[in-house]
Amino acid sequence: MPYIELDVRQPIWDQVYMVAPLVLVGTMEADGSHDLAPKHLAMPMSWQSWFGFVCTPRHATWRNAVRTGVFTVSFPSPEAILPIVMAAGPRVEGGEKPTLAAVEVEPAQKVDGVLVKGCGIALECELHRTIDDLGENSLIIGKVVAARVDAELLRGPDTDDNDLVHRHPLLAFLYPDRFATIDATNRLPYHTGFER
Ligand SMILES: Cc1cc2nc3c(=O)[nH]c(=O)nc-3n(C[C@H](O)[C@H](O)[C@H](O)COP(=O)(O)O)c2cc1C
């Protein structure tokens, strides 16, 4: 296989496709209104209840999360691609993001914030720490203080995992410009004796 050496001084992530999650991070602005922004550099931080995402002080999301000490995470289904596009709409003169009006929200329960209506999984987080020296970016890590899931999405002893994903497909993001619907999966054949 002929490999091509990539220049690691340049971003490499838009030269190939990789699979990433896609969530909507919710924060509160200083004037009491809410903000939402899509994040794909976002995932659980460990097996315990921490969640992190990469952001930049250029974004209101970063400034709001650091100022208020809280944020929310909504996990949209593949049909909910429109709220994701709207949450990344441009800001107009005066700083508002008018496209946010198209995204229906409901109040968070444990932190001051909102969650996107219709998302199957919702997290409410308190800021744990930021790691600020990733170029212009930071990793924002929150402690999950509340988590809710649509009852239909919950795994359990009586559910067939393959059927569950088929009935309620998952959204995957392929940075920078594609998304996919995951509705068919295979069970990983763990090696006998495997332990986490
Ligand atoms: C599909 C998608 C994924 C994105 N992922 C990230 C991300 O992981 N980190 C980030 O800092 N910005 C990401 N962005 C960009 C910001 O979230 C976006 O510019 C947002 O509008 C910033 O809003 P804010 O100023 O209200 O925080 C993404 C944008 C899109 C459309």
Mean residue pLDDT of the chain comes to 96
For 141-166, how does the pLDDT look when each residue is reduced to its tens digit (9 = 90+)? Answer: 999 999 999 999 999 999 999 999 99
Q: What's the total number of domains in the chain?
A: 1
The CATH number of the domain holding residue 113 is: 2.30.110.10
Q: 35 CB under 6 A from ligand 1?
A: yes
For 32-59, how does the pLDDT look when each residue is reduced to its tens digit (9 = 90+)? Answer: 999 999 999 999 999 999 999 999 999 9
User: How much is the average pLDDT of 185-195?
Assistant: 94
Is 67 a member of any domain?
yes
Give the pLDDT score at 72: 99
pTM above 0.95, yes or no: yes
* pLDDT above 90 for 124: yes
Range in 27-31, 72-76, 78-82, 126-130 with the lowest mean pLDDT:
78-82
Q: How far is CA 166 from CA 3, 88, 147, 190, in A?
A: 36, 28, 23, 22
- Among the atoms of ligand 1, which is closest to the Cα of residue 61? 27
Is 69 a member of any domain?
yes
Q: How far is the CA of 84 from the centre of ligand 1 (A)?
A: 9
Structural domain containing residue 46: 23-159
Q: How far is the CA of 194 from the centre of ligand 1 (A)?
A: 38
- Choosing from 13, 31, 39 the residue with most ligand 1 atoms within 8 A of its CB, the one to mutate for a pocket test is 39
Q: How far is the CA of 41 from the centre of ligand 1 (A)?
A: 9
Radius of gyration of the chain from its Cα atoms, rounded to whole angstroms: 18
